[in-house]
């Protein structure tokens, strides 16, 4: 190694600490400057090692903080995407108006996937098709609480004339009043794992009187007195938009299958058409015996269920409008005539 290279090496490696040590010795003016300088250099090495360790620790902390911030940013991004997908699933429901049952299945699946609900099932209002069965015949299948009350898809109640109905030849000016007193609930859709709800119905059971009891007087044309299975009929009979039971265990009148109580929240959301006709109910639960969390529905979950109900209502309105258009244009009659002509061509 040449002399020039040796000088450069010394400058680079020990020049700074040696210069600082000599300066410190000059300031301190110790009796033994050589010993002082040696001790100062040893302390310098220790300090330098500590500073290097601190730098490494600080660097590691900064890297850890950067990774945490990146993970939080990624989680926030995923949450935003999940939120968009959650509400996109609501918007897509209206696209299934061509098949109501597909739409109902998609609605139930969306609620079960995007809320705390473990079970979601959709019930239609309809008239009983046959004499009501014996209520004592309980199902052997485990089911949710009263929210698991049951039936087949039904049609809306028959409207009555409003208070402002006109006389002979006149048109009614009041709002349409719908009579649901004879309606039962039929479950027509359910999320995965709750398909057994499709075999169940929620009925209005004729009221039984004891030997010493007098039957209630009933107005002409009114249905006989009944006892409702569960509290879901409260939403129907009291014209409510939402029935929210935080815990079915403490709610009077809740209908439990097989007389076995359960724990958890229950929600029923009305699906009303643009005419204010109650067409069906969107029901959901968090029942523990149905693998739910047992907790009440949060405000965000209720808002989501309400949004699903509005989309289902809009889709059904679209279906009704198309049916009306077909009737008004005579398209259905024309198609039937053409079909009959094809099946029964005139003689030549």
Complete DSSP assignment for 198-210: GG-EE-EEEPP--
- pLDDT recorded at residue 334: 72
Contacts of residue 220, defined as CB under 8 A and 6 or more positions apart, other chains included, come to none
In angstroms, the CA 256 to CA 149 distance is 9
Q: What is the pLDDT along the chain (348 residues), one digit of tens a residue?
A: 566 677 788 778 788 888 888 999 999 999 998 999 999 989 988 888 888 888 888 888 999 999 999 999 999 999 999 999 999 999 999 888 788 899 999 999 999 999 999 999 999 999 886 554 454 443 333 344 444 444 344 344 444 443 433 333 344 556 788 889 889 999 999 999 999 888 888 888 887 777 777 777 777 767 777 888 889 999 999 999 999 999 998 888 786 655 667 899 999 999 999 999 999 999 999 999 878 999 999 999 999 999 999 999 999 998 888 888 877 777 667 777 777 777 777 776
As given in the structure block, the two tokens for residue 305 are 């269920």
In angstroms, the CA 243 to CA 284 distance is 11
CB of 260 closer than 8 Å to CB of 139: no
pTM comes to 0.66
Contacts of residue 151, defined as CB under 8 A and 6 or more positions apart, other chains included, come to 123, 124, 126, 184, 185, 186, 187, 200, 201, 202, 203
- pLDDT recorded at residue 51: 85
């Amino acid at each position: 190694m040449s002399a020039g290279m040796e000088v450069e090496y010394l400058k680079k490696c020990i020049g700074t600490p040696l210069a600082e040590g000599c300066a410190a010795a000059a300031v301190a003016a110790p009796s033994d400057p050589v010993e002082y300088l040696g001790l100062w250099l040893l302390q310098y090495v220790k300090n330098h090692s500590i500073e290097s360790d601190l730098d490494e620790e600080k660097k590691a902390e900064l890297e850890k903080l950067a990774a945490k911030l990146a993970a939080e940013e990624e989680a926030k991004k995923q949450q935003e995407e999940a939120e968009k997908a959650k509400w996109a699933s609501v918007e897509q429901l209206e696209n299934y108006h061509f098949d109501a049952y597909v739409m109902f299945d998609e609605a139930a699946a969306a609620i079960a996937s995007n809320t705390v609900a473990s079970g979601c099932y959709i019930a239609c209002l309809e008239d009983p098709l046959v004499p009501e069965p014996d209520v004592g015949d309980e199902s052997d299948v485990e089911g949710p609480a009263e929210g698991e009350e049951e039936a087949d898809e039904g049609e809306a109640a028959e409207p009555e004339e409003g208070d402002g109905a006109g006389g002979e030849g006149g048109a009614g000016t009041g709002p349409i009043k719908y009579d649901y007193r004879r309606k039962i609930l039929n479950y027509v859709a359910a999320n995965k794992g709750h398909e057994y709800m499709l075999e169940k119905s929620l009925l209005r059971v004729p009221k039984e009187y004891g030997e010493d009891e007098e039957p209630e007087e009933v107005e002409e044309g009114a249905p006989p007195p009944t006892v409702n299975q569960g509290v879901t009929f409260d939403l129907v009979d009291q014209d409510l938009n939402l029935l929210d039971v935080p815990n079915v265990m403490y709610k009077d009148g809740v209908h439990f299958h097989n007389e076995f109580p359960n724990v958890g929240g229950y929600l029923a959301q009305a699906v009303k058409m643009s005419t204010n006709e109650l067409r069906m109910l969107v029901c959901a639960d968090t029942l523990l015996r149905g693998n739910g969390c047992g907790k009440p529905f949060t405000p965000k979950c209720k808002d989501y269920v309400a949004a699903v109900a509005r989309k289902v209502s809009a889709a059904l309105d679209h279906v009704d409008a198309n049916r009306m258009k077909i009737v008004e244009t005579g398209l259905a009659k024309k198609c039937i005539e053409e079909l009959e002509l094809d099946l029964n061509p005139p003689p030549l």
